[in-house]
Amino acid sequence: MTYTTLLPARMGRLELRNRIVFPAMVTNYCSTRGEVTDRLVAYHQERAKGGAGLLITEATYISPDGKSFPHQLGIDDDGLLPGLRRLVESVHAAGARIAVQLCHAGRQTSRAVTGLPLLSPSVTRFGNDETSAMRQEDIDRVLRDYAGAALRAQKAGFDAVELHAGNGYLPQQFLSPFTNARQDGYGGSLENRVRFTVEAIRAVRAAVGPDFPIILRLGVAEPVSGGLTLEDGVAAARILAREDIDAFDVTAGMREGGMWVTPPLALPRGTHIEKAAAVRQAIQASRPVIGIGRITSASLADSFIAAGKVDFVVMGRALLADPELPLKTLQGREEDIRPCIGCNEGCIGRLSRGLDICCAVNPRVGNEYRPLPRRVASPRHVLIVGAGPAGLVAACTALRRGHRVTVLEKEAACGGKIPLAARPPFKEELAGYAVWLERQARDLGADIRCSTKATPSLVSELAPDVVLLAVGSEPVIPPIPGLAPERFLLAEQVLQQQGPAPGQDVLIIGGGLVGCETALFLARNGCHPLVAEMREDLCMDIEPRSRAVMLLHLKEYGIRTLTSCRVDRIGEGEAVLCRTGHAEEHLPCSRIVLATGYRPRTALAEALRGMAVPVHSIGDCHGGTRICDAVWQATATAETI
C-alpha cells in the first residue's frame, strides 16, 4: 500500500523525503557543557537510517540560563560547532534532514542545573526556586541569544531551525496568562503577550537571511486553571502566521500539565490533532501544519492528512520503540514494527528524574553507539520457563545470537500478565505488544510449548545448557483478620471476569496502579467500587503523567477513594477501616478485591537449585515489577549467554 505520509513533500522552503518528523525530545546524552557525544550522534543516525524525513534535535539551549537538564544539548557557544557539524553530517549521510530546536527554558529549570537566577515574564515560583521578572535588557539579551544560536545552526549545516514556543518554555510563558502578569508591552492583551515570540522570530530571520527555513513549535493550550485557552492559542497562530516562518508544529501543555506534553497510553492516539486542525483552519492552510500526540503508524497519519487536519506528523516515542517504522512500512513489514506502549517509563519518566532516556520496549535506545552482541561461535540450548515479556524478550535476544531456544509456558497462550493488563479501560492497545513479542520469537525459530508446566524432571529431560526462569510473580495476601478465602477475589480474577456481579458494592484494598485500574474496570461493568490505599496518595507506583490521567479517569467514573487508610478487619458484610485522623469506619461491602502487590515466584528456582547447569531468574520473579524491568533485565541476561 502507498501511504501519503511516506511520499516526498515540501515543508515551506524545506524538501523532505516523507512527512514523518522525529521531534525534539531531550535525551540527557550530552556533556555537562552541552557538547554532542558519540551516543547522541548514534541515536539520531539510527532514526535517520530508519527512514524519518526530518529529525529535530532535542530542546537545545541558547543561553546558559535557558538550560533545563544537566546533560542537555547546547548551541550557546561557537566551541560547540564541531560536534554539531558531526551530528548534522551523520544524519545527512543516512538520507534525512535535520533541524535544531532553539529553546530557552525561562522558569522551567532550576538553579541546581544552571547555577543562575531563573527568568520569566513575571515573578513566580517553579519547584524550589523563585523566578525574576525579565527586565527589558534581559529580553533584549535573550533575543540576541536566539539570533546567535540560529546563526550557529546555519554554520553547523542544519537544514532548518525550530523555535520552541510551546510546552511551557519561555515564549509560551509570555503567551500564557498563567505565567505572564506584566503590565507593559509584553503583557495584558493577546497582541502584547505574543510580542516576545514575534520578536524572537524576527531576530532569527534577520540572523539567517531570507532563504533559511524556520519552523515554529507553538503551544496552543494549557490544561491548568488560568492557563492559555485553545481560543487564544489559535488566535496567536493567526498573528504569528504574518511572520516569515515555514511551518507550525502544534503542541499543548507544560510542566504543570505534562500529560498533554507526552500523552500516556490512556489518552487517545492523535491527542492534539484537533488542535492542529484548528490552527490550520485559522491560518487558512497558509503554512504547513505538523500534528502531534501518540501517532503510531503511517495508516493513522494518513487518516489525519487525508482529512485535511495536518500536513506532517510527529512520531516521537513510536520511533524510540522502533526507529525503522518508516522503512518497515515501505517494505510492507508493518507486523514487524515494535509497538510503543505509551508507558512513559523509559523516556520522559526517566528524564523527569534527571536521568538519561531509554525505552521500555527497545533496550537499544541510548545504546546505539555500542556494537550489537556478536553471534556466538558455539550455540547452546537455552531453556526459558515463562512466555511473558521477560521470557519472550530473552528468547529473541538469545536466538539473534545463534542459540537454540525452547520456551515452556504453563498457560494456553503467551503474554504473561500483558493480556490482563490490557483489560482495564483505555489499556486495550497494550495487548498488541504481547502479540508482537510472540510473533518475533516464533519467526526467529523459538520452540514455544504452551500448556506445558515446567518441572525438574522435564527440565532434566530437555537437557538445556542454560535455564532462564521468567515465571513471574504471585499476589500478596495481607494478614487482615476475617479475610477468609471465600470473602475476596484477586484483582487478576476480576480482570478475568470471574466476578463480582454488576450492581455490587466492592471494596478494593490497594490503590496502586492495579487497584485503580481494577476500579475503572468494575465501574465500567456496573459495580460500585471504593478504593482504600494505605499510602497518602493513589497510584504512587507509576510515572507522573500516567498517574495524572488515571486520577482524572477515577474522578470521571465517580469512584470513591480513601487514602492513608488501613483495613483493620473484615466483619460480616462489612470492612472496618482506620484512617489517619478519623474514627473507625464500618463500610458495608458485598465483595472484597485484593490489589496489595506481588512477590516473586521462587518455588521452581528452589527446586532447580541442585542442577548442574546455570539457572538465572529474570523479570518479575527476580523482583521486577514493570514491563521495562522485564525487558531490560531479560536482554542483559540473554546477551551474556
Q: Catalytic site residues?
A: 169
Question: What's residue 260's pLDDT?
Answer: 83
pLDDT for res 441: 97
pLDDT > 70: what percent of the chain? 100
Output the pLDDT for position 544: 87
As given in the structure block, the three cell numbers for residue 80 are 560547540
Tell me the C-alpha distance between 45 and 41, whole Å. 6
Domains within the chain, CATH numbers bracketed: 9-352 (3.20.20.70), 381-473+601-640 (3.40.50.720), 488-596 (3.50.50.60)
Query: Residue 133: what residue type?
Result: A
pLDDT (0 to 100) of residue 156: 99
Report the pLDDT value the prediction gives residue 294, as an integer from 0 to 100. 94
The single-letter code of the amino acid at 512 is G
Looking from the CA of 99 toward its CB, the CA atoms found within 13 Å total: 32
3-state secondary structure of 229: coil
| Cα angle, residue 510 at apex, residues 506 and 513 outer, rounded to 5° | 105
Confidence of residue 612 (pLDDT cuts 50, 70, 90): confident
* Contact criterion met (CB below 8 Å) for 102 and 161: yes
Residue 556: phi and psi, rounded to 5, are -60, -35
Q: What is the DSSP letter of 308?
A: T
- The pTM (predicted TM-score) of the whole model is 0.94
Got the DSSP string for 42-101? HHHHHHHHTT-SEEEEEEEESSGGG--STT--B-SSGGGHHHHHHHHHHHHHTT-EEEEE
100-118 pLDDT per residue, tens: 999 999 999 999 999 999 9
Cell numbers found for residue 562: 480513601
Q: Answer yes or no: is pLDDT of 485 > 90.
A: no
DSSP 517-528: HHHHHHHHTT-E
Residue 468: the pLDDT is: 97
pLDDT single digits (tens) 508-566: 999 999 999 999 999 999 999 999 999 999 999 888 889 999 999 999 999 999 999 99
Do residues 64 and 34 lie in contact, with contact meaning Cβ atoms separated by under 8 Å? no
Neighbours of 126 (CB within 10 A): 20
Whether 338 contacts 362, CB under 8 Å: yes
Q: Between 11 and 265, name the one with better pLDDT.
A: 11
Please spell the DSSP secondary structure of 242-282, one letter per residue. TSS-SEEEEE---GGGHHHHS--TTSPTTTTHHHHHHHHHH
pLDDT per position as a tens digit, 120-138: 999 998 888 889 899 999 9
Q: Which residues does residue 467 pair with via DSSP β-bridges, in sequence order?
A: 383, 615
Confidence band of 46 (pLDDT split at 50, 70, 90): very high
Listed residue (305, 337, 300) closest to 321, CA to CA: 337
Per-residue model confidence as pLDDT tens digits over 1-14: 899 999 999 999 99
The whole-number pLDDT of residue 574 equals 87
CB atoms within 10 A of CB 549: 20
Structure confidence at residue 60 (pLDDT): 98
The pLDDT tens digits for 275-289 are 999 999 999 999 999
User: Residue 257 pLDDT more than 80?
Assistant: no
The pLDDT tens digits of the residues spanning 331-344 come to 999 999 999 999 99
Cell of 98: 535535520
Asked if residue 220 lies in contact with residue 239, where contact means CB atoms within 8 angstroms, the answer is: no
